[in-house]
Chain A
Amino acid sequence: MSLGEERLESIRMIRDSAAALAPRKDLKRVRALRFSEPGFDRGLWRQMCAMGWVGLRVPELEGGSGLGMAELCALAEELGAALVPEPLVAGVVAAHLLNGTDLADHIAGRRLFIPAWQEWAGSLEFDGGEMRLRDGRLSGRKLFVPMAAGADAYVLSVPHGVAIVPAATEGMSRDLEQAQDGGHYATLTLAGVPVQPIAMERRRIADALDEAALATAAYLLGVAEQAFALTLEYLCTRKQFGQPIGSFQALQHRAVDLRLQLALSRASIGGAAAVLDGEAAPAARQAAVSRAKARAADAALLVTRQAVQLHGAIGYTDEFDIGLFLRKAMTLANLYGSAAQHRARYARLTPSTAEATA
C-alpha cells in the first residue's frame, strides 16, 4: 500500500512545482478571472502543459510523463488548494481519448481539447443515446462541458467511440452557463455536423471518467484543506470576549471533526489511487473511486460550509476569500458523479451480503 521512495520523491517534486506555479495565497488572479471568458489563462495553461501535467497520465512512448494516479492526485490537490481555474482534470480526460497529432498538440498546449461526454444532468452515462450518427453526420446534445469557451476543439463521446469537433463548426451551437466558482459550462447542440468517428472501447472512456472522478476528489481535498487552514488561522487570531475564539471548546471540537473528515478523505483518495495504479479488476477499481469521490465531496462541502460559519459575518461577504472555497466545492462536488450517485454505484458494484464479505 505504501509508495516507494522514488514515487514519494516525484510526488514531492510535483507538489513543489505546483505550489510555485499556483501559489495558494494569491487569490487575486483567481478573483480577476471569475465570470470572465474563457475564465482561465491560456498562458498559464501552456506552462502547465510544459510541466508535463496535461500529459501526466500519457505513456512516455506517446510523449507523456507516464506517471500514476498518486501523482495526478497530488497535483490536483495542490491546484485545488490554490483554486486554480485552468481545466486540468478535463484536459487529462481529453488526453486519454486522443491519439497522434491531436494528442501531441493537446499535451504540448498548442491546441486545447475539452471532453464533452455528458448527456443527462446528474448522470455518469457517456453514451446515453442522445447522440445520433447517421451517414457520417452527428446530431444531439452534450451538457456541462467545462470551460468550453477556451476550447479549440471538443472530444465528444458518440456511439462506439469518440468524435472530434472543432470549436467553430457550422451546425454546432454553444450555450454558456455561469458556474458558482466563476467558471462556466457549455451545452453543445449539434445538428447534422459531419464527423469522422474514431472507434474506441467503452472501457477506455469509462476509465478516463473514473480517473477524472478521483482527480476531482483530490482537487476537492485541496480546496477543503486550504479552507480549513485559513479557518484555523482565523480561530487563532479573531478575538471575542477578550480571547481568541479558537480557545472555546465548542469550536475546538468542531475543528477536530473537520480535521478527521480531511484525514479520512486523504486516506480514501490515497487508497483509491493505489487501486487504480495496481492490477485490480474493473469493479474493484470503480468501487474504490466511488468511495473516495463520495467521501471527498461530502467532506469538502462540510468543511467549506463550516469554514464560512466559523468566520461569522465576514465569511458571508464576497470580498473575503473563504467564500471562494465554498463556491468551488459547490461546483465540483457533483462533477463526475455526486456523493449519492457514487454511493449507489458502490453498492451496485460490491457485494453486500454476509457470505460475500465473510
Chain B
Amino acid sequence: MSTAAANQAQSATQLDELNALDDEAFRQQVRAFLRTHYPEELRFPVKRLHWAQIKPWYLTLSRHGWVAPGWAREYGGMGLSAAKQIIYMEEFESYGVARAPDMGIVMLGPLLIRYGSEAQKQFFLPRILSGEHIWCQGYSEPNSGSDLASLRTEAVQEGDHWVVNGQKTWTTLATDANWIFVLVRTDRGAKKQEGISFLLVPMDSPGVTVRPLLNLDLHDEFCEVFFDAVKVPCDNLVGQVNHGWSMAKALLGFERIFIGSPKQSAYALKRLLALVEHLGIAAEPLCVERVARFRMELEDHTLLYETFAERLKRGESLGPDVSLLKINQCELYQRITEYMLEIAGEHAGLLEPIDGIRDLNAAGLFLQSRVTTIYGGSSEIQRNILAKHVLDLPG
C-alpha cells in the first residue's frame, strides 16, 4: 500500500470514528485537533489572510480529510451531521481560526456534486480538497449587482472553445485563486435569465487580468477580473448551455445558508465578550442586558439554522426561505459590532485594534460586518425575494 493510500485509509477510519462520537465528545476532538495543529500566530487575524499565509493550514486540514465538513463521504467530505457541522464551526470560531479560501468547498463543490458531469466531479473535487485548485466566484459585474441576471460578460462558441469577453467585479481573493467560475451570457436574444451559462475558467488563461481593490477595511480582499478574448474548452461548461441561471440560483442558496450560518455572529459575540471584560463593564446592568440579548439571539438563530441544515442533509433542496437566514445572521452580526463600536470609546475611530490586542478589533470588525448585508444579495433583495416567493405577495 502506498503512503498516500495508507493515509487515506487511516483518515477514513478516523472520520468513521468522528461521526460515531456523541456531540460533546466530538467537540472535544475538534478542540484537541485545533490545539495540536493550528498555528498560534494565525489565531484571530485582524484581516482576511491570503493563500500564502493560510496554505499550510489548508494542507493540514486536507491531509486529515477535514477540509469539507458538509460534503458526503463518497466525495471526500467529512459527512458530518448538521449538529456536528455547527460544532465544528463553533470550535473553529472560538479558537480564532482564519477563514481559508472556501469558494470551492462551500459553493462550487456542492454545485458540481449536484449538476456536474462525472468527469468534472472526478477532476475537480479532489483538486479542491487537496488545495491544488483555489476557486473564486465571477458573478457580479459593474452594472449587474442586485440585478445579476442582466450580466453582460459574453461567451461565444468557436469550434471546441468558448471565447469570453467582459468584466467581473467584487471577486473575493481573485489574486489568490487559480480558477474562477463565471456566469456568462451565451444567448443575447433570449430572456435575460434564459441566455446564461456556467463556465469554469483557469485564471492563467491568456486574456485574464486581475486588479485588486481596497475595501472599506483597507484590505485588498476583492478584485476586478477582466476577460479579453479568453479561450475556454467546451468541456468546462457545467450543465447545459443557457441553463446556467437556475444553477447559479442554487449556488446562491448554498451561499445563503453558508452566510446564514451562525459563524460570523458567533465570532463577533466572542469578541464582544472579550471586549466588555477588557473594558471592565461586564457586570454593569445595561451591559449584562445587551449581552444577554445577543446571546439569546444567537441561540435562536442557531436553532433556525439547524432546521435549514437538516433539510439540506435530508437531501431536500433549499427553498427561497433560506433568505431569512441570510438576513438575520448578517443583521445580528452588525448589531453586535455596532454595540462593540458604541462601547469602544475613542478606539472606535482608531485604525489599530484596542491596546494592540488583536482580538479586540472593534472598529475593524464593525467595518467588516458592513459588507455582509450587501454581498450574496443585499438584505433589500433578500426581502424582495421573500415577499414574492415565500409570502406570495403581489407585484
The answer to the question of B59 belonging to the interface, with a C-beta cut-off of 8 Å to chain A, is no
Report which of B293, B306, B310 forms a contact with A343, defined as CB distance below 8 A. B293
Roughly how many angstroms separate A75 CA and B273 CA in the complex, as a whole number?
A: 38
Q: Are B303 and A268 in contact (CB under 8 A)?
A: yes
Kindly provide the distance from the CB of B315 to the nearest chain A CB, expressed in whole angstroms: 14
Q: How far is the CB of B335 from chain A (nearest CB, A)?
A: 14
Interface presence of A13 (CB below 8 A): no
B121 at the interface (CB under 8 A from A): no
Residues of A near B380 (CB, < 8 A) are 253
Q: Which residues of A contact B295 (CB under 8 A)?
A: 346, 350, 352, 357
Within 8 A of B (CB), among A258-307: 259-260, 263-265, 267-268, 270-271, 291, 294-295
Instruction: Answer whether residue B340 sits at the interface, using C-beta atoms and an 8 A cutoff.
Output: no
Choose among A256, A270, A358 the residue that contacts B386 (Cβ–Cβ < 8 A). Answer: A256
Interface-facing stretch out of A131-139, A150-158, A243-251: A243-251
- B288 lies within 8 A of chain A by Cβ: yes
Query: Within 8 Å of chain B (Cβ to Cβ): is A195?
Result: no
A268 touches B394 (CB 8 A): no
Residue A255 interfacial (CB < 8 Å): yes
Instruction: Find A291's partner among B299, B386, B395 (CB 8 Å cutoff).
Output: B299
Residues of chain A lying within 8 A (CB to CB) of residue B299: 268, 271, 291
Given contacts A295-B300, A357-B273, contact A343 B292 (CB under 8 A): yes
Minimal Cβ-Cβ distance residue in A for B393:
A246
- Residue on B with the closest CB to A237? B394
Assembly CA distance A256 to B383 (angstroms): 6
| B 71-89 contacts with A by CB, 8 A | 82-83
Any chain B CB within 8 A of the CB of A209?
Answer: no
Does A243 contact B394, Cβ atoms closer than 8 Å? Answer: yes
Within 8 A of A (CB), among B275-307: 277, 282, 288-289, 291-293, 295-296, 299-301, 303-304, 306-307
List of B residues within 8 angstroms of A344 by Cβ: 289, 292
Beta-carbon contacts under 8 Å, B165-204 to A: none
In the complex, B163 has a CB within 8 A of chain A:
no
Tell which of A243, A256, A271, A295 has the most Cβ of chain B within 10 Å.
Answer: A256
Contact, CB under 8 Å: B304 / A264:
yes
Residues on the B chain within 8 Å of A243, using CB: 394-395
**Which of B269, B300, B324 is A268 in contact with, Cβ under 8 Å?**
B300
- The interface size of chain A toward B, counting residues with CB under 8 Å, comes to 37
Chain B contact-residue range equals 35 or more
Give Cα distance in the complex from A255 to B321, angstroms. 13
Closest CB in chain B relative to A51 CB, distance in Å: 28
Asked whether, in the complex, the Cβ of A353 is within 8 Å of the Cβ of B282, the reply is: yes
A267 CB to closest chain B CB (Å) equals 4
Q: A291-B299, A354-B277 are in contact. Are A255 and B387 (CB under 8 A)?
A: yes
List chain A residues, Cβ under 8 A from B384. 249, 252-253
With A256-B387, A271-B299, A343-B296 given, is the CB distance from A232 to B289 under 8 Å? no
| Residues of chain B lying within 8 A (CB to CB) of residue A246 | 393-395
Q: Mark A317-358, 1 if CB is under 8 A from B, else 0.
A: 000000000000000000000000001101100101110011
Q: In the complex, are the beta carbons of A354 and B393 less than 8 A apart? A: no
Contact count A vs B, C-beta below 8 Å: 113
**Out of A1, A265, A295, which one reaches B83, CB within 8 Å?**
A1
Which of B292, B303, B391 is the one whose CB lies under 8 Å from A271?
Answer: B303
B328 lies within 8 A of chain A by Cβ: yes
Q: How far is the CB of A299 from chain B (nearest CB, A)?
A: 10
A259 touches B324 (CB 8 A): yes
Which residue of A247, A259, A291, A358 is within 8 Å of B394 (Cβ)? Answer: A247
Is there a chain B Cβ closer than 8 Å to A235's Cβ?
yes
B94, B324, B383, B395: the one within 8 Å of A263 (CB):
B324
B390 interface hit (Cβ, 8 Å): yes
B149 to chain A, nearest CB (A): 19
Cβ of B274 under 8 Å from chain A: yes
When C-beta atoms are compared, the residue in chain B nearest to A269 turns out to be: B303
- Cβ of B270 < 8 Å from any Cβ of A? yes
Cα(A256)–Cα(B320), bound, Å: 12
Chain A residues with CB under 8 Å of B94's CB are 357-358
CA distance A344 to B277 in the complex (A): 19
CA distance A247 to B388 in the complex (A): 9
A264-B307 Cα distance, complex, nearest whole Å: 11
Q: Which of A243, A260, A350 has most B Cβ within 10 Å?
A: A260
Q: Which residue of A lies closest to B23 (CB)?
A: A1
Q: Is A101 an interface residue (CB 8 A)?
A: no
- The answer to whether A260 and B324 have CB atoms under 8 Å apart is yes
Please report the C-alpha to C-alpha distance between residue A236 and residue B394 in the assembled complex, in whole angstroms. Answer: 6
Question: How far, in whole Å, are A150 and B274 apart by their CA atoms in the complex?
Answer: 54
* Known contacts A2-B310, A259-B390, A271-B299, A352 near B292 by CB under 8 Å: yes
Bound: A187/B294 CA distance, A: 37
Asked if B274 contacts A354 (CB within 8 A), the reply is: yes
B327 at the interface (CB under 8 A from A): yes
* Contact of B270 (CB < 8 Å), options: A236, A244, A357: A357
Contacts of B273 in A (CB 8 A): 352-354, 357
CA distance A350 to B327 in the complex (A): 27
* Closest B residue by C-beta to A290: B296
The interface residues of chain A lying within 8 Å CB-to-CB of B282 are 352-353
Residues of A contacting B82 with CB < 8 Å?
A: 1
- B303 and A252 form a contact (CB under 8 A): no
Nearest A-chain residue to B277, judged by Cβ: A354
What separation, in Å, do the CA atoms of A270 and B303 have in the docked complex? Answer: 8
24 contacts between A and B (CB under 8 A): A232-B391, A236-B392, A243-B394, A244-B394, A246-B394, A246-B395, A247-B393, A249-B387, A252-B384, A252-B393, A253-B383, A256-B386, A259-B390, A264-B328, A267-B300, A268-B303, A271-B300, A291-B296, A295-B296, A343-B292, A352-B273, A357-B273, A357-B295, A358-B270
Q: Which 4 A-B pairs have the closest CB atoms?
A: A247-B395, A252-B387, A347-B292, A267-B304
Chain B residues with CB under 8 Å of chain A are 82-83, 94, 269-270, 273-274, 277, 282, 288-289, 291-293, 295-296, 299-301, 303-304, 306-307, 310, 321, 324, 327-328, 380, 383-384, 386-388, 390-395
Contacts A255-B391, A352-B273, A353-B277 known; list 16 others, CB within 8 Å.
Answer: A2-B310, A243-B395, A247-B394, A252-B384, A253-B387, A256-B386, A256-B390, A259-B391, A260-B327, A267-B303, A270-B303, A270-B307, A271-B300, A346-B296, A347-B292, A354-B277
